[in-house]
Amino acid sequence: MDKLVTRTTSPFRRYLFDEIPWNTRMVGIVGPRGVGKSTLLLQRIKEQQGNGKYLYVSADNIYFTNHTLVNLANEFVKDNGTHLFVDEVHKYPHWSRELKNIYDEQPDLHIVFTGSSVLDILHGEADLSRRTLMRTMQGLSFREFLELNHGIISPAYMLDEIVQHKVDLRDLQHPLPLFQQYLKEGYYPFSKEDGFYERLQQIISLTLDMDILQYADLRASTAAKLKLLLTIIAQLAPYKPNMTDLASEIGVSKNNIQDYLSLLERAGLIAQLHDDVGGIRLLGKVMKVYLDNPTLMYALSGENPNIGNVRETFFYNQMRVRQDVTASKESDFRIGKYTFEIGGRKKGQKQIENLTDAYIVKDDIEYAHDNTIPLWMFGLNY
């Protein structure tokens, strides 16, 4: 742990860092592979050294071949330990049952754990929902990418501030070149490392072959079907799903398709856009299926993806972190009272000309005017 904390030197903090209730007795942080959950824990430990006694462990450490989490926690508390951080808890058998026991038996111990976004704390061996505050971590926003990779610092802007032209990014006079870089590789914090796309392909494979199968308790033969389903979506996204056709293409029952789509979405590989049913997004019918983020589109397409699809994917990916985004009958997206139509520089007003609180979101422009807003600005929302 000391070596890992010493190597954690970046002053950059993910958007979620200041939103986590660190002083709560048990916090769970879930999210797709590669978005920086482990670094988040190590940064917190480094920041708080001297304010208690901290221990970081990874649940796949060889130590746990003949020790349990419960025993570790008990020994740690006897040594005046106050904060236990368990990384990748999904790699530890019976994780939910043992965390429940630790929570109940060690009332003075604070526990933070990270895990795959496929994890469901309600359906483990023990129900942790009453004991744990859960937070989901997404990949980098365009705002975070600018800070991490280029040292350009900006506040996060609320949606109302973006549509009211209140974005002020004086340190970046010409955002479009960096925005194009972000779309291709900026969603994942490890994009500066050698072999980025190879590493991303490995993450995709591990997510399909290990995370989804192991933690959703599916058979190994399902991995091939999930890969085929993801390949179909990558070629067609944004894709209006036809469950019968998808079932026929991958050779499964139509009833299984929605379960597979939900697993791919929870794993951070796709995103489903629903229509608006009483303002409750997840109750609506699935209108389109997207790849989760533009960087995945470039990794999986095998060639340059359709730029119109990239634009829609970016907007949905960035805006859903803070808002409920639904399909719009008149245009591309609806967020509360606002309607958004996404396009390039030449996109016209015709589609929204009779709507109130409606905006044209254009790629390839630098500045907002009237009801036209640059696409890149929506990457400053978190």
Nearest 5°: the CA angle 356, 271, 27 is: 105
Confidence label for 280 from pLDDT (cuts 50, 70 and 90): low
Give the separation between CA 171 and CA 196, rounded to whole angstroms. 27
Question: Do the beta carbons of residue 369 and residue 356 sit within 8 Å?
Answer: no
Give the separation between CA 166 and CA 377, rounded to whole angstroms. 10
Show the beta-strand stretches assigned E in 295-352: 326-327, 333-335, 338-343
DSSP sequence for 5-36: HHH-------TTGGGS-TTSSEEEEEE-TTSS
Strand ordering across the sheet containing 54-58: 54-58, 83-87, 110-116, 26-31, 133-136
Confidence label for 66 from pLDDT (cuts 50, 70 and 90): very high
Residues 319-324, mean pLDDT to the nearest whole number: 97
Give the separation between CA 6 and CA 80, rounded to whole angstroms. 22
Above 90 in pLDDT, residue 139? yes
Residue 117 has a pLDDT of 84
Above 60 in pLDDT, residue 281? no
Confidence label for 283 from pLDDT (cuts 50, 70 and 90): low
Residues 60-81, mean pLDDT to the nearest whole number: 96
Confidence label for 36 from pLDDT (cuts 50, 70 and 90): very high
- Model pTM score: 0.93
Residues 161-171, mean pLDDT to the nearest whole number: 95
Confidence label for 150 from pLDDT (cuts 50, 70 and 90): very high
Write down how long the chain is.
382
Above 60 in pLDDT, residue 61? yes
Two tokens, residue 344: 């390039």
Question: Do the beta carbons of residue 175 and residue 351 sit within 8 Å?
Answer: no
Residue 236 has a pLDDT of 84
Q: Which residues pair with 338 in a beta bridge?
A: 335
Residues 195-217, mean pLDDT to the nearest whole number: 87
Average pLDDT, the chain: 92
The distance between the two most distant Cα atoms of the chain, rounded to a whole number of Å, is 69
Residue 360 has a pLDDT of 98
DSSP 369: B
Question: Do the beta carbons of residue 37 and residue 112 sit within 8 Å?
Answer: no
